[in-house]
Amino acid sequence: MAEPTGRINRRNLLLTAGAGLSSLAIGSATTPAIAAAPAFLRQEQTLRIAFEGTAVDPLDQQLADGFKEQFPDANIEFIPIQGTDWNEYFAKVLTMIASGTAPDIMSVATEGTQLFASQGLSTPLDDYVKRDQAELEEYFADVHPSLVEAMMYEGSLYQLPRDFNAANMYINTTLFEEHGIDYPATDWDKDTFYQIARTLTAENGGPPFGYGWTNRLWGSWMPWIFVNDSNLLTEERAPGGEWLWDAFYADADDTVQRGGGWRWEAPQANAPANVEALEFVVQMAQEGITPSVSEGGGDLLQGFFTSNSLGMTPAGGFWAGGLNEAGMTPDAFDVQYFPKWKSQRHQFGTAGYVILESSQAKDLAWEFLKYVVSKPAMELSFGGNFSTPVRRSMLTAEQYSPTGPQHWEVFYGTLDEHPETAPIPAPPQANEMTSIFMRYTGLALTFSQSPQEALDSMQAELEELFAQEG
């Protein structure tokens, strides 16, 4: 019997399929970035709001309901996006933008303000602010100009700040009392701090530890750089911004010459003051005053603090509610300004919502932005003290009595008493910069490299990064 012929050839079938897919892949790679979904596919008057988190909080839903009372045709869809820290959250949102599923509004902290603004992904709010100047006067009068300036980029405003956190020093009052240490003075210095940290640390190394921190951009050993009158990058103020300062802060008692936002243009990682700061924190680690430093948002550190295994740590107002929720009574912890070194210049971060340039509902998004910074909306959002509201009028004894700390006035006092306080360095290349910063910080803290070696290597990589981007 003759062999059957003309069978469908498996090799040809697979080759044909592969060729087809190749054409598809190469063809799709050459097409322009996919635009946002056409408006007719989306429900009208729907605002998609992305934020860093794992789930929608009931408070957010109340916020949405309050907005709908003013705008009954508006639908609010919250999109929680999980990330170990801000850089991961930003990367995920950028992927959403590229895939055509961009939200209308997203929560952005200092770490991402210039990242989105420089790429033209976020909408400048200047025209909206000028149009609604009368309505916003009350808001700006209640917000420190440093926080507003941090949300500006090259003369334009991109966010209305809602909350901020400066790196103050949190104190475990239980450990302080056990060792007979008084609450430190407002102008306590680095040496006094070191003695206290040494005293709080168990003999032969903790636990308990005198001082701890998390390896990330905000907090970490950045506060020591700032109080040593230095910065990771050179800093200067961009020109412009007069339209805002003249409109809202002309009569303000502000001694600082404001501009159009910050420019961080060149790395100076291995400046002597920075090496000195890193040597100080490495010394504390070598002496057992500081536990092994891990990365992340600080949840582990909070656990050590609440279990009285840690005496002091840099943190902001966001810790007040968190510590209380973890079981600490209002008098079990307190806060003071960061210790003085060459100065007492603090570092802070702030956050607000941006309107994405791809949004088809910008006008409605602007109304939402104004709504969430209104006093009633902010009182709803920040009732639990899980962050520090930018509205000065909201920081009261009554606000902090349920959670602590006793010296809550330190939060806003950081801006008033130390006007040289500035935002953490967060240029458009903040993601890569943070990665380099954390990597070499880790090498120094594990004693794999000396502080000088680590910062020399950090400087070299940062220079390469800024040269590529420039």
Partner 1 sequence: MAQTTHSPSAPAARSGPIGWITENSLAGMARRRALLGYLFILPSLLGVLVFTAGPVIASFGLSLYQWNIIDPPTFIGLDNYERLANDTRVLQSFVTTGQFVVLAVSLQLVVSLLLAMGVQSLKQTGLRYVFRTAYFLPLLTSAASISIVLAYMFHQDFGVINYYLGKVGVARIPWLNSSTWAMLAIVLTYVWQQIGFTFIVFLGGLSGISRDVLEAADLDGATGWRRFWDITLPMLSPTLLFAAVIAVIGALQVFAEPFVMTNGGPGDATRTVVMMIYESAFSFLQIGYGSAIAVLLFVVILLVTALQFRLSNKWVFYQ
Residues at the contact surface with partner 1, assessed by CB under 8 A: 1-2, 4-8, 13, 17-18, 21-22, 24-26, 28-33, 87-88, 91, 94-95, 97-98, 119, 121, 206-207, 209, 291-295, 300, 304, 309, 431-432, 435, 438-440, 442-443, 445-446, 448-449
In the complex with partner 1, which residue's Cβ is closer, 24 or 256?
24
In the complex with partner 1, which residue's Cβ is closer, 291 or 405?
291
> Least distance in Å: CB of 107 to partner 1?
19
In the complex with partner 1, which residue's Cβ is closer, 87 or 414?
87
> Least distance in Å: CB of 102 to partner 1?
11
In the complex with partner 1, which residue's Cβ is closer, 43 or 468?
468
Judge contact between 344 and 421, C-beta under 8 A: no
> Least distance in Å: CB of 241 to partner 1?
26
CA dihedral 284, 286, 288, 291 (to 10 degrees): 80
> Least distance in Å: CB of 7 to partner 1?
5
> Least distance in Å: CB of 446 to partner 1?
4
CA distance 359 to 46: 10
Instruction: Label residues 51-80 b or e (16+ Cβ within 10 Å = b).
Output: bbbeebbeebeebbeebeeeeeebebebbe
In the complex with partner 1, which residue's Cβ is closer, 118 or 406?
118
Judge contact between 343 and 192, C-beta under 8 A: no
Judge contact between 373 and 138, C-beta under 8 A: no
Phi, psi of 101 (to 5 degrees): -115, 40
Judge contact between 109 and 349, C-beta under 8 A: yes
CA distance 61 to 77: 9
CA distance 251 to 100: 45
> Least distance in Å: CB of 370 to partner 1?
28
In the complex with partner 1, which residue's Cβ is closer, 17 or 252?
17
